[in-house]
Amino acid sequence: MKNINVTELSNGIKVISEKINYVKSFSLGFWFNVGSRDETEENSGISHFLEHMFFKGTKKRSAKKIAEDIESLGGYLNAFTSKEHTCFYGRGLTDHVEKTFEVLADMVQNSIFDPKEIEKESAVVIDELYDIEDSPDELIFDKFESNIFHGNSLGMPIIGTEKNLRSFKQKDLFKYVNENYTRDHFYIVASGNIEHKDLIKFAKKYISKNLKAANDNKRGLIINTTSDLHVSKETQQVHYILGRSTYGHKEKSRVKVSVLSHILGEGSSSRLFQKVREENGIAYQINSFLNSFFDISTFGIYLSTNDKSVNKAQELIYEEIENIKKKKVGLIELDRAKEYLIGNMLMSLESTTNRMLRIAQSMIYFNKIKSVEETVKHIQAVTSKDIRNLSNEIFENGTLTRVILSSKNPLLHKVA
């Protein structure tokens, strides 16, 4: 692809860059194809905990020095952990690419995981866990995926458990890094006003640790039968999700699900927003969602409302589900959903960080860079017939599961 270069180094590390001449900055990410999905119940939460610990000091830098070395140049560092990836990234002005690269390389190779810092940071992450527990609109999504994927590591929350967070030792962190932060799981990805040859030079100069080969652990997945779940929590509102598993990134039909989701409940012009909130004034929050992994996604409808209105809201949701199953979506509505999807994607790509994220995920999932034009083409190809067929498949009787988070279990009407 134009302006994008991919190089696999002799040690198996992949370097991918996108040159953008008209900006004065860059986004640089060190990606590892490892996340909470690669954990067990015994070490659940360790990927996310390590993300924190990599910022807590190396053999030559304190935590403060890591931050100062980048922020003094007008840039910043950050990181995130998902169920399938961990990414450490920096942003800065073009003149400071090498320094940012060197600091990130130092972090991922030379962190010492000081036992005193482990103890302090475990308390910080436990506070983060409590924040999630106190945020019902976040917690319910963890509970929904735990319910859908029960019996699989994909169902475990990224943050882990308080018991595990209190138990992690220095040796546990080193062992996990050694086994999972491997050379063929390592991607160096950049977007902005940078030169590909410079990134290769920096990689050869600063990546000195002899990373081992991948452990070849396969990410298995067995979908078990699920049932409705009530989560008892002191809240003012009833939080409700109706959904199921569906196609992941590797399946072409995922794009169709994304269009369906936009028609149903993404955006203020969507069917559910108009029906439930605007016409009936029931729920402040209502939206559909699609959360995707390589081989599977979760798809559903989320709302929060009071306990007296939840049955009415559920009734309205099912009315729209039946409508979209039986009546062909009009071309105007279909085109609006496609333009919404395409517009959001194109506007997000005005950020070098979002461009870097997109390139990395494409490379990790497909071992190639999917062009924007290819993605737009797939969206544009979705037809009204596709949406109707998909709706009847996804909303087939008995395939949807409800998760309700509330103070008391509401007497919800049964649904087919």
Q: Which two tokens stand for residue 116?
A: 């005193």
Question: Tokens 């794009």 identify what position?
Answer: 255
Q: Which residues of 104-119 are buried (b: 16+ CB within 10 A; e: fewer)?
A: bbbbbbebbbbeebbe
Measure the CA–CA gap between 117 and 121, rounded to whole angstroms: 6
Dihedral-angle region of residue 3 (phi above 0 means left; psi in -120 to 50 means alpha; beta otherwise): left
Measure the CA–CA gap between 269 and 267, rounded to whole angstroms: 6
Which residue, among 337, 182, 346, 358, has the nearest Cα to 267 in the 3D structure? 337
- The set of residues, in sequence order, having a beta carbon less than 8 Å from that of 288 and lying 6+ positions away, is 261, 262, 264, 265, 266, 270, 272, 299, 300, 301, 302
Q: Which two tokens stand for residue 392?
A: 């009847």
**Could you give the C-alpha distances from 132 to 126, 127, 137, 403, 405, in angstroms and in order?**
10, 9, 9, 17, 13
Q: Are residues 367 and 294 in contact, defined by beta-carbon separation less than 8 angstroms?
A: no
- For helices 136-148 and 115-133, angle between their N-to-C axes, nearest 10 degrees: 100
Amino acid in position 322 = E
Q: Which of 51, 117, 121, 145 is catalytic?
A: 51
**Could you give the C-alpha distances from 131 to 21, 128, 135, 139, 159, in angstroms and in order?**
41, 5, 6, 9, 11
Q: Which two tokens stand for residue 301?
A: 């409808």
At 332, give phi and psi (nearest 5°).
-65, -45
- End-to-end CA distance of the chain: give it in Å, rounded: 48
Q: 8 - beta bridge partners?
A: 14
51 is catalytic: yes
Q: 403 - beta bridge partners?
A: 229, 241
Q: Which two tokens stand for residue 214?
A: 């991948």
Host H or E run for residue 314:
helix 310-326
Active site residues: 51
